[in-house]
A = this chain, B = another copy of it.
């Protein structure tokens, strides 16, 4: 039996996609639409205050293609807050037009696979704190996808030695480092919480970099042999200042 990995865990995370019901929105009066947008901007302001107080973070993305229209990403210290935020959106005026779609529940995760980290007291390291409770970068584009590790006869991630797992992930990390400054990444774990095992959230100024990094990593041994991927979704950052324009008819 392989030695189980030890993780450090941070904020609870909700990826929440919504399709906007434009037909119903158009049948709503201009006054009601204005009120709905204003109320939504107030919600965003409240969320920003939470972020300023270092009690969470969030971003909204305009999704490309028909999988959804908006992707919300929320990080909070507790699952209670994530459920309350969902409910607050649904109870709000604009919530009537934000039809819930695919969502993903997970917790920010760091593993001890990097051999250079062995023996260090990471809990006290401020960089660790920053990674476990990350403030989402306001980069122009985001990409989300869930993944899992294979448990097949010929390739069973959970059966191989911890040292081998560390080596494979180290090589994988080396590929990632080539994209420093171009791609930021947050890993969240969903084992016991949602489908798949991990969620990968990427940020970039140029969405071509999502294609380049994921493509190059597909040749990494850890991916080639052990990775299974769910669906990918990409979106463009929606700033609070652009919300009124987004919903304007």
CA distance A218 to B2 in the complex (A): 10
Write the nearest CB–CB distance from A24 to chain B, whole angstroms: 9
Contact A79 B96, beta carbon cutoff 8 Å: no
Q: Nearest B residue to A78 by beta-carbon distance?
A: B207
User: Bound state CA distance, A187 and B191, in angstroms?
Assistant: 18
**Residues B65 and A151 in contact, CB atoms below 8 Å apart:** no
Q: How far is the CA of A102 from the CA of B140 in the complex (A)?
A: 25
A241 at the interface (CB under 8 A from B): no
Q: Using a CB-CB cutoff of 8 Å, which residues 98-128 of chain A contact chain B? A: 100-105, 107
A103 contact set on B, CB distance < 8 A:
65-67
Over the window 125-164 of chain A, the binary record of Cβ atoms lying under 8 Å from chain B Cβ atoms (1 yes, 0 no) is: 0000000000000001101010000011111101100000
* A64, CB-defined interface residue at 8 Å: yes
A217 vs chain B, min Cβ distance (A): 9
A83 CB contacts on chain B under 8 angstroms: 62-64, 235-236
Stretch at the interface among A8-16, A40-48, A52-60: A8-16
Is residue A1 within 8 Å, beta carbon to beta carbon, of the partner chain? yes
Measured between C-beta atoms, what is the minimum distance from A144 to chain B in Å?
11
Q: Which of B19, B156, B219 contacts A158 (CB 8 A)?
A: B219
Q: How far is the CA of A195 from the CA of B233 in the complex (A)?
A: 9
Taking a contact as CB atoms under 8 Å apart, the answer to whether A156 and B224 are in contact is yes
With a cutoff of 8 Å between Cβ atoms, the chain B residues found around residue A2 in the complex are 219, 224
Chain B residues lying within 8 Å of A66, measured Cβ to Cβ, are 16-17, 86, 100-103
CB of A218 within 8 A of CB of B191, answer: yes
Tell me the A residues contacting B by CB distance below 8 Å. 1-5, 7, 9, 12, 14, 16-17, 19-20, 22-23, 26, 62-67, 69, 79-80, 82-83, 86-87, 90-91, 95-96, 100-105, 107, 140-141, 143, 145, 151-156, 158-159, 171, 189-195, 202, 207-208, 210-216, 218-221, 223-225, 227, 231-232, 234-236, 246, 249
Rank and list the top 10 A-B pairs by shortest CB-CB distance, nearest first: A192-B214, A65-B103, A66-B103, A66-B100, A192-B210, A153-B154, A4-B219, A192-B211, A158-B224, A191-B215
* A2-B224, A64-B83, A79-B236 known, 5 other contacts, Cβ within 8 Å: A1-B224, A7-B211, A79-B141, A79-B234, A143-B192
